[in-house]
Amino acid sequence: MRLTAKLFFTLGIIAVVGVIAAACGGDQAPKSANKTPSGAEAPKAASPSPTASAPEGGVFRRLWMDPPTLDPHLANDTSSAGLIVEVFSGLVTISPALTIEPDIAERWDIGTDHQTYTFYLRKDAKFHDGKAVTAKDFKYSFERATDPRLLSPVADTYLGEIQGAKDKIEGRATEVSGVKVIDNYTLQITTVRPMAYFLAMLTYPTAYVVDQSNIERLGRNWASQPNGTGPFKLKEYRIGERVVLERNPLYYREPAKLDRIEYILSGGSPMAMYENDEIDMTGVGIADIDRVRDPKDPLNKEVHATPPGFTVSYIGFNTAKPPFDDVNVRRALNFATNKELIAKEILSGLAIPAYGILPKDFPGYTGQTKGLTFDAAKARQAMAASKYAAPNAKDLLAQYESTQDPKALADFQAATAGKLPRMVLTVPGTGGGLGLDLEVIVEMWKEALGLNVEFQQVEWATFLQDLNAKKLQVFSGLGWQADYPDPQNFLDVLFYSKSDTNHGAYANQELDKVLEEARSEPDWNKRVALYQKAEQLVLDDAAWVPLWFSTEVPVLIKPRVKNYKLLPLIVPHMRDVYIDKG
């Protein structure tokens, strides 16, 4: 979904927050039964999932992290979104089958201009307190999300293509002109241009409906007692201890089967807690993989393999801050990173080295882009070519290349590294360490280039604040999980120069033109070609060091848990889960 310190891509966090699974798409367009008037693929309007015939009820327990927010209009991380999607809802949603289906809107029409969307709301949709959800509630919600006083880090990214939204966000207008109430149960939204992925963008929590009276009555702390619309209600939230969700009996689709979901925030050893029946699922860390894969071990029967998810982890550079304003420095660090060695020797094959941005099998992935692979010699050449290199750097490097004398290498490294500004790598967390993969990478940079990189660790919510404010110089310990299955959600959202989620302040005029063209291109194959070109531009410019794509990771799930789906995206799916009491 968004930033994840699942995002937090370290293997330990995968065990805490959840694991991602089954891929879809390939180099085909997203599957759909519908067509828009333009001929572009439109998401399928599917019926709710069939119910299970097993007994309902039970309590599902799992480890989680303290969410930075439960406000859907502010959330930009997976620990928040994983809770929000169960408590709130919007016009449309992504199903566990990864198709776009009706939610509070039971159907919609798309105008001949390919920009006007008319949504017809369910008349049985209610807030948790029983009050009907109307088009006016959605109008209020869009206005609130784009209110400049809210300082939403995601409003522009996910709502900015609605007519008038940018004017509202930037304080030039008092309302979003492209959102109109036709009647109590009809809402019209007009975009600034035709976009094949607009409905998908509306599945993100920024477009969820909230209750105006709930917010006005409780003020800043309203999200601690939210009057949502989702299948679960927030019963309890104790910071650092637990979040408890309970079934919403008024849910307009089929009510959830579980009585409660308990998210444990206080930490602990996942494996020990699982074996003591304190939690119902956990990822499996490196230390326990061989054990649970052993057919003789009792836990072996509870192992589920999760196919790769739509996530990439990376090291990000702030390209507006020295020395990362120099492409040669960025390229040098890419070339100096031996990902194949780390994946095999450090991560036990639980991550796939990433040399691109789009994960394999994600819609729009072609496999044709070429990233920067490990080559220590090219790393030194790139550093010597940088504007931060010492005047005699190329001569010193030539001397080393001709003699392979370690002293010549040390002279080159001292002359080059000594001219570079101080580099501080920031990671989220409270454990006091970088993580094995990052520790090895920093050592690789030192070995190849003589760099001494410092690091600092900050609490997750603070990390997000600094990241959104573009204060960090170089950062990692996180990743990006797709919000919806479209390449725009990676390449445009992360690298367009004016995107709020372009945390590295990366700017490339040629890339911007390609991305702008892709936004309005109705032909799927042409869009894919444009995004392939965009991805290659990003890789050539070394805007990131892409690190890892996920691979199959073992997950333990108690046999009593039924209908739990391991998914590559964060979508509401807990309403189908139940505990077998037999």
**pLDDT tens for each residue of the chain, 582 residues long:** 456 653 333 333 333 333 322 222 233 333 332 333 322 333 333 333 334 344 478 999 999 999 999 999 999 888 999 999 999 999 999 988 888 999 999 999 999 999 999 999 999 999 999 999 999 999 999 999 999 999 999 999 999 999 999 999 999 999 999 999 999 999 999 999 999 899 999 999 999 999 999 999 999 999 999 999 999 999 999 999 999 999 999 999 999 999 999 999 998 899 999 999 999 999 988 889 889 989 999 999 999 988 678 999 999 999 999 999 999 999 999 999 999 999 998 887 778 999 999 999 899 999 999 999 999 999 999 999 999 999 999 999 999 999 999 999 999 999 888 789 999 999 998 776 778 899 999 999 999 999 999 999 999 889 989 999 999 999 998 899 899 989 999 999 999 999 989 999 999 999 999 999 999 999 999 999 999 999 999 999 999 999 999 887 789 999 999 999 988 888 899 999 999 987
Residue 282 lies in a domain: no
Residue 450 lies in a domain: yes
pLDDT, residue 418, reads: 79
d(CA 45, CA 34) in angstroms, rounded, equals 8
pLDDT, residue 204, reads: 95
243 and 391 co-located in one domain: no
Tokens 């007519």 correspond to what residue?
Answer: 163
372 and 507 co-located in one domain: yes
d(CA 566, CA 289) in angstroms, rounded, equals 18
Q: How far apart are the first and last CA of the chain?
A: 35
pLDDT, residue 210, reads: 98
Instruction: Specify the amino acid at residue 443.
Output: E
Say which CATH number the domain at 124 has: 3.90.76.10
pLDDT, residue 5, reads: 54
333 and 236 co-located in one domain: no
Residue 300 lies in a domain: no
pLDDT, residue 321, reads: 96
209 and 358 co-located in one domain: no
- Count of residues making up the chain: 582
Q: Hey, what are 242's tokens?
A: 């637990």
Cis peptide before 428 (omega within 30 of 0): no
Residue 271 lies in a domain: no
519 and 574 co-located in one domain: no
Say which CATH number the domain at 418 has: 3.10.105.10
pLDDT, residue 580, reads: 92
224 and 352 co-located in one domain: no
Work out how many domains the chain is built from and give that number. Answer: 2
Residue-number span of the structural domain to which 509 is assigned: 311-550
Residue 279 lies in a domain: no
341 and 468 co-located in one domain: yes
d(CA 37, CA 289) in angstroms, rounded, equals 50
Query: Angle 368-369-370 (CA atoms, 0-180°, nearest 5)?
Result: 120
Instruction: Specify the amino acid at residue 311.
Output: T
Residue 440 lies in a domain: yes
In whole angstroms, how far apart are CA 328 and each of 370, 466, 483, 539? Answer: 17, 26, 32, 13
204 and 323 co-located in one domain: no
Residue 303 lies in a domain: no
Residue 287 lies in a domain: no
Tokens 């709710």 correspond to what residue?
Answer: 48
225 and 371 co-located in one domain: no
121 and 40 co-located in one domain: yes
568 and 500 co-located in one domain: no
**Of the candidates 390, 379, 358, 395, the residue with the CA atom closest to the CA atom of residue 485:** 358
238 and 383 co-located in one domain: no
d(CA 290, CA 263) in angstroms, rounded, equals 28
Query: At how many degrees (to 10) do helices 436-449 and 376-384 cross?
Result: 60
